[in-house]
Structure 1
Amino acid sequence: MNLPSPTPKWKPRLLTAVGAAALAILVTLSGVTAPLDAWVYDRLVLGAAPDADPRIVVVDIDQKSLAELGRWPWSRRTHAQLVDRLRLTEVKGIAFNVLLSEPALFDPEGDALLARAISRSGRVVLPVLAEPVQLNGSTVELMPIPEFAASAASLGHAEMALDDDGVARSAYLRAGLGSPHWPALALALLQLDQPPGSNGDLPGRRRVTTGLEPASPYDWVRDYEVRVPFTSPPNAFRHVSYTDVLNQRIPATLLRGNWVVVGVSATGMGPLARAPGQPPTTSMSGTDYQANLLNMLIKRAAITPVSEGWQAVLAAVLSALPLLLSLLPVLRRIWRPTVLTMAGTVVLSMLMLRYGHLWFSPVPALLVLALGASLWVYRLLRRTQRQAQSDALTGLANRSRFDHALDQELRIARRSGQPLSLLVMDIDHFKQLNDTQGHAAGDAALKALGRILRSRARRPRDLVARLGGDEFAVLLPETSAQAAATIATTIHVDLAHHGRKPHGATASTPPPFTASVGIHTYLSGDEAGPEDVFDRADAALYRAKQAGRNRSFSHTGEHEAVEVSPHRV
């Protein structure tokens, strides 16, 4: 059904737009949409998944290596041999993602051999981890033992940032205890060719600081937050077994000039996480996490989340946009700009992610827009329902609504024992009025009678209806016969006052007219149905017309009606 679209009033629309913007800001800052934000991000980021760089090689400490080299942990002599093998193949750099925070008490010579191998390579970066000393206790940095730290080309934190659902979406390019002084392990590897202490032009969302209080030296502080676009699948890099490299089963050309990430992938030996958009049954090792982080940095594909302030501003603007656009004549129907804005919000988020490497969550704006659309649909349905149950000319209830209300009120009257009165009336000589003064005058009379009836039936359950033509009805729950007769009399009085045209009346002023009224009051114990009640009031109306019109009769028996306004007003 196509409903008319009146010109919108700009002030209510503007105030509603401000309210929508405020709601969008509140939703954004409250964080209530975080789970849905993550779900949407996981689906959209799959389209931005980069290819695995062929210059990245993962050396896995896998089940095969454990089977050949024995139980973990291995002697540091073994690691020294691996570092030497990789040095001889002229790899570009080695991220040795194995924690070496304690000396080998029973093999100090092995520690010395590994330290010398790391020093000879000059291209090895070692991890730093943060761990609480005890549950809910202060955090400490687990660093390589001093001889390893002194031999390494660089150190980098190997934190694998996990969200509450166990998915690794983010990384922090710098972090540390008290201050973000450590680069991420992959970043430290990539920075081997850069001047010492150079951060370069790091991507990522910066840490917000107030400057009022310095960071606690016991807090793990993060900076340069990025979202990692993982390859699909996350382990799409070239993988080789630790033991195969150690035993020279891998061609040197596979390793020469490449970045190497060494780490544990054997089941049960290291932390696991899930990449965005991957099934819950799949997992990713910390080594693959670092390889993806390195791949992101090499390809300059880091995704920076927009700041919380800009997220709120964009959500507010998009939430208010349909109401502002609806002021334009071409977009007057509110559903059009709403649909366009919802589609545009999703497209904007996708374009920012794909080409701008920025993450803007569309969820808060979509939530507010969907709420607005729901309210609009609800109001449209209510308006449609009212129009379906209303008379178009007078705005009163129509016959369908009246029949439903009569049946309902009659049921209530039977249960409560209260009286129910019904007034049925016609405009006297209405056809003659139409013929002599025109249909415009007849319509004006119908509207005038509707206004008079509404003024006399003001209680919440009272109902005034136009049944068709010039026939009207007034349903009065919990109203006695005497009270109904009094209301009928006041209607006659109102019509008499209406008939006295004021000086200067225009052509649009309703002409003088009168009406005849039939009344019936349902009392407790009567078995009459809705049709019977109406027929009795209609019969009383017929008697009023027979008696000369412009009067009220009340039905008192099966074939009797008495006049309740015996004199003309």
Structure 2
Amino acid sequence: MITPSPAPKIKTRVLITIAAAALVVLLVLSELTAGADAWLYDSLVAGTVRHADDRVVLVDIDQRSLVELGRWPWSRRTHAQLIDHLREAEVKGVALNILLSEPALFDPEGDALLARALSRSGKVVLPVLAEPGQLNAPAIELMPIPEFAASAAALGHAEMPLDDDGVARRMFLQAGMGSAHWPALALALLQLDTGTSGNMTAKLPGLHYSAPEAASPQRWVRDHEVLIPYASSPNAFRHVSYADVLNNRIPPSLLRDRWVIVGVSALGMGTQAQVPGHPAYPGISGSDYQANVLNMLLNGAAITPLSTGWQVLLSLILVVAPLALCSLPGLQRIWRPTALMMAATILVSFLLLQFAHLWFPPVSALLVLTIGTLLWVYRRLRRTHKQAQSDPLTGLANRNRFSQVLEQEMRTTRRTGQPLSLLVLDIDHFKQLNDNQGHAAGDAVLRSLAQILRSRARRPRDLVARLGGDEFAVLLPETSAQAAATIATTVHVDLANLATNAELGNGPPAFSISVGIHTHLNEDDLTPDDLFERADNALYRAKQAGRNRSISHADEKPAFGGAPVVE
């Protein structure tokens, strides 16, 4: 038995590998699966939540403070008093998350008092923001007025970037106009206590972006991208009212050695953002967002998204792996290693997130693996369907397929009025040939006849079928009785030529066939069974007449007659 060459299978695998690799690279680079990756991240990050550090306290400009202290904005004298109270309480540092980019024209003395309070404290960080300019105009960097900027211990950007779905998943630890020179507000606050302000950039976590050449000074540049593992409850940190701190209703012990973030929490004031893993939560304020960033930095829990290059590489490995695993015992069927790698893809993403604090978006690889599995299932179903309707020895249609096509063509004939011819044929003395020369010779005879019949009935709608044993049928749509008889004659001639080759020792043993023919016309009121029965009766008459001939049901004389081949 000759083993088929593995070259076609290897070529197919190479083409599949190239196609899968190209598709996964396209998906990663185009970020087409970003929405699905975000949803999966929200689900997986639930296992990495952190407890809210009790060293972080939020002083809220809440509704009660507005009622007690009056309408916003307040005099900057008020903020100066708050800063002095926090200094006396010996806090570690204060992030005053209030934009102070314009002087108070009607209260210049209040500005002076706040500047002095900032200087006395030496532990206050003020925010910097980027405000979009007008249409097609560059952004504007909003900084504290000069006297505040000079008096503050540090400045930090207070940007809260939102994804397309409005969820605040990430933070850029460095950002600024023209270059990423401002630390995040929470980072600047932490650096006050650690004494690392200005020399900690190289040690920052997160995805680092190369500085763009000739960056525009009017462009907001970001660097050190991290994903934030929020506390189990996004506002789980200790909250106190601005008015309570200002009026000494909060014991100093609750503030001593704490990092304090002062910001707006009253409804209708400031930006509210959704957080991952809490779809029903009404949203968090900018102060809660900065508190979670500070909590992340205190615990060393920043999650770094993988760079595009690493995403592509890891996705390629996961997508190509099933083709390599197919050679292992028990994994030859492609769906098994593919299913294994789909589970491994999610597991790798979760383990990197949980233990390495790295985020690998897996959906691109999962999508390619899913597409590959569905295509394999589709091909498998098609192959199974084809096998269910074909003869395994000859590759011809089987009796079930023949019966289906015969009914279809009968309906077409009634609709179009075109003739439909049917040839039913047997191999003469096939049992004797099998007994004398063995089943291998009999199989070779069946395959040879199938090849000849296919060569003579090769139009798209022509159908050659093996009905069972040595019985075959040839269905010829839009074929007249004369044309059908001619085709039968050419088959007899082909078999005679085959017999000559057999005498020379080439090919299968010599054999002949008997053929019955009937042509159905539109005016005939026949069922498919009637058509087959008439062709079968003609076959019986051909056998009775001496075999090795063709007889039409409508004729008394054979369409082709010859001496039987001696066996």
Q: Give the structure-2-normalised TM-score.
A: 0.95
Q: Is the 8 A contact 2:346 2:362 kept in 1?
A: yes
- 1:429 matched residue in structure 2: 429
Q: Is the 8 A contact 2:188 2:197 kept in 1?
A: no
Q: Per the alignment, do residues 157 and 173 of structure 1 end up closer, same or farther by CA in structure 2, a change over 3 Å counting?
A: same
- 1:204 matched residue in structure 2: 206
User: For 1:411 and 1:15, how far apart are their aligned partners in 2?
Assistant: 42
CA offset at residue 186 of structure 1?
0.5
- 2:417 matched residue in structure 1: 417
Q: Per the alignment, do residues 136 and 210 of structure 1 end up closer, same or farther by CA in structure 2, a change over 3 Å counting?
A: closer
- 1:3 matched residue in structure 2: none
For 2:275, what is the secondary structure of its paired residue?
coil
For 2:60, what is the secondary structure of its paired residue?
strand
CA offset at residue 528 of structure 1?
1.0
> Which of residues 540, 543, 548 in structure 2 aligns to 1:542?
540
**Residues 467-510 of structure 1 deviation map (CA, whole Å, 9 limit, x = unaligned):** 1111100111111111111110111111122223447748xx53
Gaps in structure 1 of 5+ consecutive residues: 1-5
Q: Is the 8 A contact 1:325 1:337 kept in 2?
A: yes
User: For 1:364 and 1:65, how far apart are their aligned partners in 2?
Assistant: 49
For 1:369, what is the secondary structure of its paired residue?
helix
Q: Is the 8 A contact 1:8 1:326 kept in 2?
A: no
Q: Is the 8 A contact 2:115 2:147 kept in 1?
A: yes
CA offset at residue 552 of structure 1?
0.4
Q: Is the 8 A contact 2:175 2:183 kept in 1?
A: yes
- 1:29 matched residue in structure 2: 29
CA offset at residue 281 of structure 1?
5.6
User: For 1:109 and 1:180, how far apart are their aligned partners in 2?
Assistant: 34
**Residues 95-125 of structure 1 deviation map (CA, whole Å, 9 limit, x = unaligned):** 1101111111222221111111111111100
Q: Per the alignment, do residues 502 and 433 of structure 1 end up closer, same or farther by CA in structure 2, a change over 3 Å counting?
A: closer
User: For 1:332 and 1:133, how far apart are their aligned partners in 2?
Assistant: 60
- 1:78 matched residue in structure 2: 78
- 1:519 matched residue in structure 2: 517
Q: Following superposition of structure 1 onto structure 2, how do residues 168-567 of structure 1 map, counting pairs within 5 Å?
A: 168-192=168-192, 193-200=194-201, 201-209=203-211, 211=213, 214-279=214-279, 282-502=282-502, 505=505, 509-556=507-554, 561-567=556-562
Taking only aligned residues, the RMSD between alpha carbons, in angstroms, comes to: 1.8
Q: Which runs of 4+ in 1 moved over 6 A?
A: none
CA offset at residue 229 of structure 1?
1.2
User: For 1:26 and 1:341, how far apart are their aligned partners in 2?
Assistant: 20
Q: Is the 8 A contact 2:207 2:306 kept in 1?
A: yes
Q: Is the 8 A contact 1:424 1:517 kept in 2?
A: yes
For 1:368, what is the secondary structure of its paired residue?
helix
- 1:63 matched residue in structure 2: 63
2:113 is the alignment partner of 1:118 = no
One-letter identity of the residue aligned with 2:539: L
Identity %: 67
CA offset at residue 218 of structure 1?
0.8
User: For 2:186 and 2:381, how far apart are their aligned partners in 1?
Assistant: 58
For 2:500, what is the secondary structure of its paired residue?
coil
**Residues 259-303 of structure 1 deviation map (CA, whole Å, 9 limit, x = unaligned):** 111100100100111111221562111111111111111111111
User: For 2:155 and 2:179, how far apart are their aligned partners in 1?
Assistant: 15
For 1:564, what is the secondary structure of its paired residue?
strand
2:104 is the alignment partner of 1:99 = no
CA offset at residue 314 of structure 1?
1.4
User: For 2:523 and 2:150, how far apart are their aligned partners in 1?
Assistant: 104
For 1:544, what is the secondary structure of its paired residue?
helix
User: For 1:416 and 1:504, how far apart are their aligned partners in 2?
Assistant: 48
Higher alpha-carbon deviation: 42-51 or 528-537: 42-51
One-letter identity of the residue aligned with 1:242: Y
**Residues 76-109 of structure 1 deviation map (CA, whole Å, 9 limit, x = unaligned):** 1111111111111111111110111111122222
For 1:331, what is the secondary structure of its paired residue?
coil
User: For 2:395 and 2:157, how far apart are their aligned partners in 1?
Assistant: 73
One-letter identity of the residue aligned with 2:394: T
For 1:454, what is the secondary structure of its paired residue?
helix
**Residues 491-547 of structure 1 deviation map (CA, whole Å, 9 limit, x = unaligned):** 1111122223447748xx532211100111111222211111111111111111111
User: For 1:565 and 1:238, how far apart are their aligned partners in 2?
Assistant: 103
One-letter identity of the residue aligned with 2:343: A
Q: Is the 8 A contact 2:502 2:509 kept in 1?
A: no
User: For 2:527 and 2:211, how far apart are their aligned partners in 1?
Assistant: 77
User: For 2:439 and 2:132, how far apart are their aligned partners in 1?
Assistant: 89
Q: Is the 8 A contact 2:178 2:218 kept in 1?
A: yes
User: For 2:126 and 2:143, how far apart are their aligned partners in 1?
Assistant: 9
Q: Is the 8 A contact 1:228 1:302 kept in 2?
A: yes
User: For 1:289 and 1:568, how far apart are their aligned partners in 2?
Assistant: 98
Higher alpha-carbon deviation: 106-115 or 200-209: 200-209
CA offset at residue 181 of structure 1?
1.1
User: For 1:209 and 1:186, how far apart are their aligned partners in 2?
Assistant: 23
**Residues 398-449 of structure 1 deviation map (CA, whole Å, 9 limit, x = unaligned):** 1110000000111112212211111000111122222222223222222221
CA offset at residue 453 of structure 1?
1.0
User: For 1:403 and 1:266, how far apart are their aligned partners in 2?
Assistant: 78
Q: Is the 8 A contact 2:502 2:510 kept in 1?
A: no
Q: Is the 8 A contact 1:205 1:226 kept in 2?
A: yes
One-letter identity of the residue aligned with 2:559: V
User: For 2:479 and 2:563, how far apart are their aligned partners in 1?
Assistant: 24
CA offset at residue 377 of structure 1?
0.4
CA offset at residue 370 of structure 1?
0.8
User: For 1:502 and 1:423, how far apart are their aligned partners in 2?
Assistant: 25
- 2:137 matched residue in structure 1: 137
One-letter identity of the residue aligned with 1:515: I
CA offset at residue 389 of structure 1?
0.6
- 2:3 matched residue in structure 1: none
Q: Is the 8 A contact 1:14 1:323 kept in 2?
A: no
Q: Per the alignment, do residues 340 and 283 of structure 1 end up closer, same or farther by CA in structure 2, a change over 3 Å counting?
A: same
Equivalent pairs, count: 557
One-letter identity of the residue aligned with 1:544: A
User: For 1:534 and 1:396, how far apart are their aligned partners in 2?
Assistant: 18
For 1:394, what is the secondary structure of its paired residue?
coil
Q: Is the 8 A contact 1:555 1:562 kept in 2?
A: no
CA offset at residue 163 of structure 1?
1.1
User: For 1:295 and 1:196, how far apart are their aligned partners in 2?
Assistant: 18
User: For 1:530 and 1:62, how far apart are their aligned partners in 2?
Assistant: 86
Q: Per the alignment, do residues 40 and 8 of structure 1 end up closer, same or farther by CA in structure 2, a change over 3 Å counting?
A: farther
**Residues 371-405 of structure 1 deviation map (CA, whole Å, 9 limit, x = unaligned):** 11111001100010011111122111111100000
- 1:20 matched residue in structure 2: 20
**Residues 1-54 of structure 1 deviation map (CA, whole Å, 9 limit, x = unaligned):** xxxxx9993343133212211211111111211211211111111211111111
Q: Give the structure-1-normalised TM-score.
A: 0.95
For 1:9, what is the secondary structure of its paired residue?
helix
